Amino acid sequence: MNAMLQRTLDRLGVSDPSAPFLPLSFRLFATFGLLILHAALPIDTRPSGPGELAYLLVLLLMFAESAWESGRSQLASGHLFSTPPKAWIWWNLALDLAMVTLIIAFHGVVQERFATLYIFPVLASAFYLSTVEIVWVGVASSLTHVFLVLGFAFNLFPPFGLSGEMGEPDQGRLSYLLGIASLQVFAATLVVVLIRRNLDRLRTDLKDSEAAVDKLSALHQRVVESMSSGLITLDLKGLITSANPAAEAILGLPITTGAPIQDLLPIGDPIPWRRGREHRFEVVLPGPGKERRILGGHLASLRDSSGIESGQLLLFQDLTDLKALEERTRISERLAAIGQLTAGLAHELRNPLASISGCVQLLGREGSPEEVRTRVLGILERETHRVGAIVSDFLDFAKVASPNGAVLFLPKILEEVRSSWEMDPRTVGLTLAMEPVPPVWIQADPTGLHRALMNLLSNARKAVKHVPAPSVRLACLVSEASIRLTVSDNGCGMTPEQLDRLFVPFAGSFEEGSGLGMSLVYKFIEAMGWQIEVESSPGQGTLVQIFLPVQRNEEAMAPQADQS
C-alpha cells in the first residue's frame, strides 16, 4: 500500500527524498547553461555591456553554490537533489529569485520575454510551501521585477549589461511592461495555489484511504488467523500461495509456499476440469500409529476484480471426531430401531400366543365337550395363521429389497389388483371405483407393486368400515414424464400424530392386520426409487399418491411385442 501511495504521489509531483529538488536543480542547470552559452557565442553576437565580468562572476558563484549543495545532498541521502529542510528551501528560492533578477538586469529590463522568468520561483515553490507561502513568493517576485524596472527607468541603478540609461521613461511603455509581468506572475501564483490545494486535499484523501485499507487488511488478517478451519490459497497451477495457522495445525506439518497441494492433500486434480465450479472432497489421511484422520472441505475459485479466475481457495476441517460421533449416533439409532421393532413384534405376537396357550390348556382338560373342542381348534387355527402372517410380513420387511423389476403394462397390473379386491370376501358390498387406465408401461417388480397396492386398498377398506356411504377409489394420472397412482377413501382419516408414524413398523391403529403393511409399502417405494405422499385428516378420509416414471417407448416395445 505504501508503494502504491508513493507512486500516486510521484505522479502528482509531491516530493519525497528521492525526487529532484526543483529550485536547486533549476539553478544548477540554468547557471551552467548560461555560462557555457556565453562562452560559446562569438564576441560580436553575445550580450555584453557594463558589469559583464560581475555578471559572469555571480553566475559562477551561484553554480558553485549549487554544485556544493548537490554534493552535500549526495553524501547525506544518496540523492543528488534531495529535498532539504524548510530553511534551505527558502534559501534556494531566494537564490533562484536573485538569479532571475540578475539575468533580466543583464539582458535588459525592457525585454518583455525575460519577465516570464519570474514565474519559475513560483512554480518551484508549489511542491514545498503552503498556499500562503506560495502567495508571498509570488508577491516577492512581482515586487522585485517592479523595483528592478523602476530602478533602471529612473536611473536609480547604474548601467548594467543591456540595461543602460533609458532616458526619459515612456509612461505607457513602462505601465505595459510592469502590468504584463505582474499579470503573468500573479496568474502563475493563482494556478500554483489551486494545484497546491488540490494536492493537499488529495494527499489527505490518500492517507484516509491508506488508513482504511490498512484497517481492512488488518481485519482480514485477524479473521484468517482466527479461523478454526484450514485455509489455503492456490494459483492456477495448483501451487500453494498462502496458508493460515489452522491449516498447519490440522495437517500437523509446516506448509511451504510454492509446494503442490497434492503433496499435502490427495484431493485429486479438480483444477483443470472443475474450473469455475466448487469441488467438495473428503480424504482419509494416516495418523500416528494405527489412527487415521478424516479431512473434508471444498475447493472454490478465486477471482480478481474483473471476474477472471486467478487461483483457487481451499477450505477444510478435521472431521475425525465428527465422523466418530456420527457413527456412534448411527449405531445408537440402529439399536433403538431394532429395539422398537422387537418390542412391536413381541406385542403383536403376545395376543395370539396368549390365545393359543389358553386353547392348549382347554384341550388338556379331560371331559371337555366336543363343541368346545371344535371351537378351540378353530381358534388355534386362526391364531396360528395370524402368527404365520406376522412372521411372514416381518421376514419380508427384514429382507433386503431388490430394485430390479420388469417392464409392465400398467392397465393389466391394475386390472389384476381389482380382481384381487373383488375376490376378497372382506370387500363384499364395497365397490372399488376405477377410471380407465391410460395404456402406459412402467418398470417395476410385479409382485411388490401388487402387494403395495393391495396393502393401501386394505387400509382404505378398514378406514371406511363404519362410514355410512363408504367409497374407495384407485386412479391413475399420466403426464409427459411421470405417472401418479392414487388410492383414496372417505374413511376415518388420521391425526397428525398418526400421520407422522404411518410408516413405522407395528404403529398401525387398526385391529386387523400385522402392523407392517405401510412399512412394507414404504420400503418397496423407496427401493424402486419412487415417491409417496400421504394426505389425511380426521373424518375427512385419506389420499395416498405414488409418483413413478414413465417407461420410454423403445424400452417397452420388446415386452409389448412378447405379450401380444
| Tens-digit pLDDT profile for residues 402-412 | 556 788 888 99
**Pair type for strands 472-478 and 432-434:** parallel
- Over range 444-450, report the average pLDDT: 84
- Over range 444-449, report the average pLDDT: 84
Question: b or e along 533-548 (b: 16 or more beta carbons within 10 Å of the residue's beta carbon)?
Answer: ebebeeeebbebbbeb
Q: What size, in residues, is the chain?
A: 564
Crossing angle of the two packed helices 446-463 and 410-423, in degrees rounded to 10: 50
Contacts of 401 (CB under 8 A, 6+ apart): 448, 523, 524, 526, 527
How are strands ordered across the β-sheet holding 432-434?
432-434, 472-478, 482-489, 542-549, 531-536
Least confident of 29-43, 358-372, 446-460: 358-372
Q: Tell me the β-bridge partners of 473.
A: 433, 488
Q: What is the model's pLDDT at position 547?
A: 92
Helix (H) or strand (E) holding 337: helix 320-364
Retrieve residue 103's grid coordinates.
539575468
Amino acid identity at 324 = A
Q: What is the model's pLDDT at position 447?
A: 81
Torsion of CA 381, 387, 388, 394, to 10 degrees: 170
- Over range 119-141, report the average pLDDT: 88
Checking if the pLDDT of 59 tops 70, the result is yes
What are the Cα distances from residue 182, in Å, to 23, 103, 141, 321? 21, 17, 9, 85
Checking if the pLDDT of 376 tops 80, the result is no
Portion of the chain with pLDDT greater than 90, in percent: 14
- Over range 507-534, report the average pLDDT: 78
- Over range 535-549, report the average pLDDT: 90
Write the pLDDT tens digit of every residue in 162-194.
887 655 667 777 888 888 888 888 888 898 888
Confidence of residue 559 (pLDDT cuts 50, 70, 90): very low
Which residue's C-alpha cell is 413413478? 548
**Higher pLDDT, residue 321 or 136:** 136
DSSP state of 420: H
Q: What is the model's pLDDT at position 18?
A: 55
Q: What is the model's pLDDT at position 348?
A: 58
Question: b or e along 138-149 (b: 16 or more beta carbons within 10 Å of the residue's beta carbon)?
Answer: bebbbebbeebb
Confidence of residue 1 (pLDDT cuts 50, 70, 90): very low
Question: Nearest to residue 102, comparing CAs of 184, 94, 186?
Answer: 94
Q: How far is CA 2 from the centre of its chain?
A: 28
Q: What is the model's pLDDT at position 273?
A: 44
Q: What is the model's pLDDT at position 563?
A: 45
Q: What is the model's pLDDT at position 448?
A: 82
Q: What is the model's pLDDT at position 472?
A: 92
Write the pLDDT tens digit of every residue in 274-328.
455 677 888 888 766 657 788 888 888 888 878 888 888 888 888 888 888 888 8
- Over range 466-485, report the average pLDDT: 88
Checking if the pLDDT of 335 tops 90, the result is no
- Over range 332-342, report the average pLDDT: 65
Write the pLDDT tens digit of every residue in 389-399.
666 656 665 55
Helix boundaries (H) for 229-319 = 245-251, 270-274
Question: Nearest to residue 87, comparing CAs of 16, 15, 23?
Answer: 23
Q: What is the model's pLDDT at position 97?
A: 93
Write the pLDDT tens digit of every residue in 406-433.
888 889 989 988 888 888 888 888 889 9
Q: What is the model's pLDDT at position 5?
A: 40
**Higher pLDDT, residue 273 or 109:** 109
- Over range 533-545, report the average pLDDT: 91
Burial classification of residue 171, based on how many CB atoms lie within 10 Å of its CB (0-12 exposed, 13-18 middle, 19 or more buried): exposed
**Mean pLDDT of the residues in the chain:** 80
Q: What is the model's pLDDT at position 378?
A: 73
> Cβ–Cβ contacts within 10 Å for residue 358, how many?
14
Q: How far is CA 100 from the centre of its chain?
A: 63
> Cβ–Cβ contacts within 10 Å for residue 43, how many?
6
DSSP 7-45: HHHHHHT---TTS--HHHHHHHHHHHHHHHHHHHS-TTT
